[in-house]
Amino acid sequence: MPWARGYAAVKAGEATALIPTIRSVEREALFDFPGEPIFQAEIALFARAFKPLKWSGRPSDLVGLSFVRLRGALVSPEFDQAVREGRLHCEQAHGFGAAMRMLAAGRFDFAAMPKLAGLQIAAAEGLSARVRVLEPAPHVQAFYLAFARPPELAKLRQRVD
């Protein structure tokens, strides 16, 4: 199911676990996390191929611009703080493919998503010539399997550990 729907289902106890998810203070209050991440991935920023965009690796480079990310997703502690403070304008998409298509259509200045997923989507949708990855990556993110909180799932989470 779409990630945001899966998040809501695990939060409500209607599903056992969610993968992948980013561990945060807010999410630790909702879910039970194993001690180790499942994997790590570069979070990349994608921009239109022919539109100049100054990027040195600091969110302050992008103040005043708009970007799109997966609904409910986190980018990096610095980006997420800039969004909360209103220094970066962020819209949300239902999927990485939708975010990439919106970027290619010029609706946003950049898109944030895991680098490998973004490259795969750009290739699959024929957008590789229209988008580019901005370097350096703003963040390398650990992704976790997040379990619902019912006590009977604690033993399952311990087995994953």
Cα–Cα distance, 154 to 49 (Å, whole number): 47
Predicted local confidence at residue 16, as pLDDT: 94
Q: Which of 69, 67, 72 is nearest to 22 (CA)?
A: 72
> Do β-strands 17-21 and 110-114 pair in parallel, antiparallel, or remain unpaired?
unpaired
Predicted local confidence at residue 119, as pLDDT: 97
Predicted local confidence at residue 111, as pLDDT: 97
Predicted local confidence at residue 156, as pLDDT: 85
Cα–Cα distance, 51 to 65 (Å, whole number): 13
Predicted local confidence at residue 58, as pLDDT: 87
Q: Which of 15, 16, 12, 33 is nearest to 24 (CA)?
A: 33
Predicted local confidence at residue 102, as pLDDT: 96
Which tens digit of pLDDT belongs to each residue from 113-158? 999 999 999 999 999 999 999 999 999 999 999 999 888 888 888 8
Which tens digit of pLDDT belongs to each residue from 41-75? 999 999 999 988 889 988 889 988 999 999 888 88
DSSP annotation of 108: S
Tokens 């100054």 correspond to 54
Q: Is the dihedral of CA 129, 134, 140, 141 positive or negative?
A: negative
Predicted local confidence at residue 157, as pLDDT: 84
Helix, strand, coil content of the chain in percent (nearest 5): 35, 30, 35
| Residues 75 and 87 sit within 8 Å (Cβ to Cβ) | no
Predicted local confidence at residue 32, as pLDDT: 93
Give the pLDDT band (50/70/90) at residue 34.
very high
